[in-house]
Amino acid sequence: MKYGICYCYWNKNWEGNDYPKYIERARRCGFDGLEIVFGRMLYMEKPEIDEILAACREYDIELYATGGFGKDMDVAALDEGERERAVEKSLRYLEAFNRLGIRNFSGDNYGAWGDFEHADKKEQLFEQAAKSLRVIGRAAGDLGVSWNMEVVNRFETCMLNTADEAMKLVRMVDDPNVNVILDIFHSMIEENDIAAAIRTVGKERLMHYHLGSNNRRLPQPGFMPWEDAFGALAGIGYDRCLSFEPLVWSGGTVATVGGCVWRDMLPAGTDDAEMDRMLKESLAFVKGIVEKKQNELAQAH
């Protein structure tokens, strides 16, 4: 199993220009990957790309891309011209991912995030998305990228709210490079059974998994069904990345563009050292349950 951490854990904005610093910090905290939002990748100059790649090599960190598409990248647009332009831009992003050595892109990348204008035309949205994702999937395959569609809650999309809906679109696209990411936060809102949702997607199609508590803080003891989720992941043989996606900062784009963080989510006086201490503690908590469930499965066999 690999463990990832999102850049936004340490920063109030989704994106920055200091990724090498956080590549080192991720490794220092015990992580195998750093997840960053895709937006700037299209416009990064070669010196910045070279610095990022050098840091990844030095600290043995895998880089993951994440994020949600706006209207300019609505690959499910009902207007054919808009849809085709969105596909063309998506293909340009695949080239950008390749320049950064990224092989895994997860997010709301199958339509326009937060757009409910055509929620009453869901089947048409699925058909348009599938048409686009077949083209994107072929290009992703050429570059060795997995394009992972995130199942998110009803307040963020009208398309993929459950694992069943994600697998419906996967079957429509029918490309091995168009896959699924589940997020335990969203699953807690939409799924009847988190373990069943994981089994519905299965090992072949589940390429990434996001972790966060019910209030989007770090994974921690509480009423979240961690044992159910990690037991199901062990059961399907999932061995890819468990990526921590805590949204804890107000006052920046994390709060105002999607994260909806309207109050202080960190203890008063939390400094950099305490941020790292809390992160290491959370990682140990998660690893403890993951290893427990893997051991239980091994003993059962």
pLDDT tens by residue, 128-172: 999 999 999 999 999 999 999 999 999 999 999 999 999 999 999
Question: What mean pLDDT do residues 65-85 have?
Answer: 98
| pLDDT confidence tier of residue 69, bands split at 50, 70 and 90 | very high
Average pLDDT over all residues of the chain: 97
Q: Is 3 helix (H, G, I), strand (E, B) or coil?
A: strand
**Residue entry with tokens 């610095």:** 51
**Complete DSSP assignment for 129-167:** HHHHHHHHHHHHHHHT-EEEEE---TTT-SS--SHHHHH
* Contact present, 207 and 169 (Cβ < 8 Å): no
**What pLDDT, on a 0 to 100 scale, did the predictor assign at position 301?**
83
Neighbours of 71 (CB within 10 A): 14
Is the pLDDT assigned to residue 264 strictly greater than 90?
no
Domain residue ranges in the chain: 64-300
> How big is the chain, counted in residues?
301
Instruction: Provide the strand spans (E) within the chain.
Output: 2-6, 33-37, 62-68, 104-108, 146-150, 178-183, 206-211, 241-244
pTM for this predicted structure: 0.97
The CA-to-CA distance between both ends of the chain, in Å, stands at 20
Active centre residues (catalytic): 150, 245
- For the domain spanning 64-300, the CATH number is 3.20.20.150
- Note the pLDDT tens digit of each residue in 82-111: 999 999 999 999 999 999 999 999 999 999
**Residues 6+ away with beta carbon under 8 Å from 138:** 175, 177
Neighbours of 60 (CB within 10 A): 10
The strand pairing partners of 62, in sequence order, are 33
AA letter at 178 = V
